[in-house]
Structure 1
Amino acid sequence: MPLSPRLSIAVVAAALALTTVAACGNSDPLASGGSGSSDPNAIIVGSANFPESETVANIYAEALKANGFDVSTKLNIGSREAYVPAVKDGSIDVIPDYTGNLLQYLDKDATATAAADVDATLTAALGPDLAITTPAPAEDKDAVVVTRGTADQWQLTSIADLAPHSAEVKFGAPAEFQERSVGLPGLKENYGLDVSPGNFVPIADGGGPATVRALADGKVTAANIFTTSPAIAANNFVVLADPKNNFPAQNVVPLLRASKKSEKLTAVLDAVSAKLTTEQLVALNDSVSGSAKTEPAAAASQWVTAQGLDKPVS
């Protein structure tokens, strides 16, 4: 399974960031290198370089501070190629990740897609330097999305329901979706949805505004949009069920430096994960990326307080 469109963008962004660092000197959050601190109470929380990751990282930081940890942050690090080695060398101790994509990074041959299978395979793939705690119910994964009008007209609830209309379906997604094993080939194999090359519409924004607009305006019949996009609810779109798990599970999971994992740290992160649902993540994304334009740190602080996680975990 190649990188998702969002993560492909992140890889490019990371490369650009390295160029900027070379010019500016001090903008690299990992410039100080590995700390390797053995103090279990001192935790460095990192994030990848997109708003959802930064928001969740700030949630971890706020909850850990409330439980007496000495917390610092290194945010907007970049892609897994940058932050997984940073966890291993002690530059950071905790970072939010996604189960399916983390598994694929660690084990290129992994084929698990269902959540339980992904979790089990991921645990085995971590090696001696990495650890995770319990994944959250919150999931940011690929989905096949249609308008409410299309869903009602064709009585669609799952991707399989779309298959009889294959000849009529114009599908909008990043160009690589046409060849990805979990893209059109997977949809054909698992559900019989056979989109002809002429009906595939490449849109290079990873399920973002251009994709949303194309779907809302009827330029495409179905689109690949991430499940935590606020645009789904805002436009009354319908996410079609994927009972065969064509798209691998992508539950939010804290990735840890193994030597820093403790009962106390696990208890706090598990308490956060237990509260973090997909609906909560959509709301956080809407707050940060929607019209309110709330800073990720502020959105995280508000959420931690609202969930009662600003107090020590019992």
Structure 2
Amino acid sequence: MALTGCKSTTALEQEYSSTQVVVGSGASAESRIVATIYAEALRGTGIGVSTDLGVGDRFDYVRALESGRISVVPDDTASLLAFFQRSNAQNTPDSAPDAQKAGGETAATSDEPGAVSAVEEALSRALPQYLRVSDAALAERGQTLIVDDGTARKWDLHSVSDLAAHCADANASLVAGLVSDAQVRAALAESYGCTFAVVDVVGAPADAADAVTQGLSEVGGVTTLSPAASMDGFTALEDDHDSLPAGNIIPMYRTASLGDRQVEALNNVAGELTTDDLAGMVRRVEVDGRSVADVVGEWRAQHGV
């Protein structure tokens, strides 16, 4: 079911024409892949659809949604919930304790397509009135820590708990952003007592992996969808306390931009797109050099969406 929330129409909605839907994305291969899948699914409903891939970071594409430059963008439930709860807490300080409490709702999305998790419900409440989300996909994006195999052998590392004793002497490269930087550090400190000697904030998971390869950092923070999470030469550490942020891929859209048929098309994608599917497509783009259009075309042919 789509999370529709409040039905009121704002000035932002009134100034935006829904005759042409624009699907935006972040700069990562993962975001561009999912945005392309959404765009093709929406075209199948008979409406005009264009894409604006690589809009920027989360702040950029939320602003683009607000202005009407784009209509739809992919993200994940955990990242969006943290982003909007933080924004709401800054705008209304008295609500900050409730926002923090809601942020602790980490129930995973059910394997039943269309089931709504506690995180999705909290996200729907946190969104501004001009934004909505539809069903979250089966595909999940989590955060994971990697070290090179040599460091894993030297320190006998298999899990984040194993790493905790070495954090004070280790440098880490983490991806910039609320979830992949601040929340990762907070989760590590709270659940594992792990605070790194130095944290280098980088732009993408590939940059974090490169820093580990080059010996600039002992630890890299990447997503579970990143090729580095399963690439030879790296050891991905088990999050044995299940504390690192993880959320399911979800489309966020301007309230007035999509009708019931379009929302249903996005929900159909949600029921087909798995973590393995998306990780495989990201690898084919980032490692094998395939085009986003090609890998999305192959996936759609297999899944009929």
In the superposition, the TM-score normalised over structure 1's length comes to 0.70
1:298 to partner: Cα distance: 2.7
Residues in 1 aligned to 2:175 and 2:223: alpha-carbon distance in whole angstroms: 16
Q: Which runs of 5+ in 2 are unaligned?
A: 1-13, 90-98, 109-116
Q: 1:204 aligns with which of 192, 202, 205?
A: 202
Name the counterpart of 1:119.
120
Q: Does the Cα contact within 8 Å between 1:134 and 1:253 map onto a contact in 2?
A: yes
Q: Does the Cα contact within 8 Å between 1:143 and 1:239 map onto a contact in 2?
A: yes
Residues in 2 aligned to 1:38 and 1:291: alpha-carbon distance in whole angstroms: 37
The correspondence of residues 1-314 of structure 1 with structure 2, limited to 5 A, is: 36-39=16-19, 42-108=20-86, 109=89, 110-111=99-100, 112=103, 114=106, 115=108, 116-147=117-148, 157-166=158-167, 170-174=170-174, 181-195=182-196, 197=197, 200=198, 202=200, 204-209=202-207, 211-216=208-213, 220-235=217-232, 237-242=234-239, 244-292=241-289, 294-309=290-305
Which 10-residue stretch deviates more, 144-153 or 281-290?
Answer: 144-153
Letter in 1 for 2:296: A
Q: How many residues align?
A: 266
Q: Does the Cα contact within 8 Å between 2:184 and 2:245 map onto a contact in 1?
A: no
Q: Does the Cα contact within 8 Å between 2:23 and 2:35 map onto a contact in 1?
A: yes
1:96 to partner: Cα distance: 1.0
Letter in 2 for 1:212: A
Residues in 1 aligned to 2:190 and 2:70: alpha-carbon distance in whole angstroms: 41
Letter in 1 for 2:123: L
Return closer, same or farther for 1:36/1:230 CA change in 2, 3 Å cut-off.
same
Question: Would you tell me which structure has more strand in proportion to its own residues?
Answer: 2
Q: Does the Cα contact within 8 Å between 2:222 and 2:228 map onto a contact in 1?
A: no
1:59 to partner: Cα distance: 0.8
Return closer, same or farther for 1:151/1:267 CA change in 2, 3 Å cut-off.
farther
Return closer, same or farther for 1:82/1:148 CA change in 2, 3 Å cut-off.
closer
Q: Does the Cα contact within 8 Å between 1:131 and 1:257 map onto a contact in 2?
A: yes
Return closer, same or farther for 1:125/1:233 CA change in 2, 3 Å cut-off.
same
Return closer, same or farther for 1:244/1:55 CA change in 2, 3 Å cut-off.
same
1:215 to partner: Cα distance: 3.4
Give the RMSD, CA atoms, in angstroms: 3.2
Residues in 1 aligned to 2:57 and 2:214: alpha-carbon distance in whole angstroms: 33
Q: Does the Cα contact within 8 Å between 2:176 and 2:203 map onto a contact in 1?
A: no
Which 10-residue stretch deviates more, 155-164 or 95-104?
Answer: 155-164
1:181 to partner: Cα distance: 4.5
Percent of aligned pairs sharing the same letter: 32
Q: What are the superposed Cα offsets for residues 250-269 of structure 1, whole Å, 9 maximum, x if unpaired? A: 32210111123433222211
Q: What are the superposed Cα offsets for residues 23-70 of structure 1, whole Å, 9 maximum, x if unpaired? A: xxxxxxxxxxx972245xx53222223332222111111122234333
Q: Does the Cα contact within 8 Å between 1:131 and 1:261 map onto a contact in 2?
A: no
Letter in 1 for 2:170: K
Q: Which runs of 5+ in 1 are unaligned?
A: 1-33, 310-314
Q: What are the superposed Cα offsets for residues 66-118 of structure 1, whole Å, 9 maximum, x if unpaired? A: 34333222332223333324334433221112222222332214431524443
Residues in 1 aligned to 2:186 and 2:272: alpha-carbon distance in whole angstroms: 35
Letter in 2 for 1:202: D
